[in-house]
Amino acid sequence: MAYAGLTAERLTRAGAELADEVGFDQVTVSELARRFDVKVASLYSHLKNSRDLKTRIALLALEELADRAADALAGRAGKDALTAFGHVYRDYAHEHPGRYTAAQFRLDPEAAAASAGGRHSQMTRAILRGYDLTEPDQTHAVRLLGSVFHGFVSLELAGGFSHSAPDAEESWARVLDSLDALLRNWPAP
């Protein structure tokens, strides 16, 4: 039978692949059971419910993104680091749209604390040290970068930039240039 060797990790990875294929909102334990040609009840020894599955996919996505970002940032600073960081998020979203959506999933406080979300924040703050920002400006800048990256990528994935010139790639380059200029000349309160 197809269910031999099922584990929570294998189900999470299959759920992540399913999210990339059909969208994160469509991922359920029932749909996953269909993929493995097993009864839903047989998955409940590995997963509590669909929320547990989605939480696991979110944690996987956050970990994958953090690992990619860490690799991309190694040895970089300033605009080079900022650009690499932005490209990691954008590229990941294009390669794994369902997982990218999963990375935005609202986690309970305990899961959030144990997630790679803290690594994302630390890396963003490391980039911002190159711009000599102190608190509370650093926190404002972390929020700005997250908002701009996520906003651009979300609009792009939804097809929001596909109907007009110039190409989204040109706009993305300008967004990164503008963020760098803003961070170098951060306005005083």
Q: pLDDT tens-digit profile of 131-185?
A: 989 899 999 999 999 999 999 999 999 999 988 899 999 999 999 999 999 999 9
Q: Can you give the pLDDT at residue 3?
A: 52
Task: Give the model's pLDDT for residue 189.
Answer: 75
**Separation of alpha carbons 137 and 43, rounded Å:** 47
- Res 58 pLDDT > 80: yes
- 35, with CB counted inside 10 A (0-12, 13-18, 19+), is middle
Q: What is the per-residue pLDDT for 1?
A: 39
Q: Give CA separation, 52 vs 2, 59, 134, 147, in Å.
A: 22, 11, 38, 27
Report the amino acid identity of residue 155. L
Please compute the mean of the pLDDT values over residues 6-31 and round it to a whole number.
94
Cα(182)–Cα(145) distance, integer angstroms: 11
Pick the closest to residue 125 from 142, 113, 137, 112 (CA basis): 142
- Residues 90-97, mean pLDDT to the nearest whole number: 98
Full-model pTM: 0.91
Structure tokens at 165: 């010139």
Whether 92 contacts 99, CB under 8 Å: yes
Residues 65, 85 contacting (CB under 8 angstroms): no
Average pLDDT, the chain: 93
Cα–Cα distances in angstroms (integers) from residue 25 to residues 22, 141, 155, in the given order: 8, 30, 18
pLDDT of residue 4: 58
* Average pLDDT score over residue span 51-62: 96
Q: pLDDT tens, 113-127?
A: 999 999 999 999 999
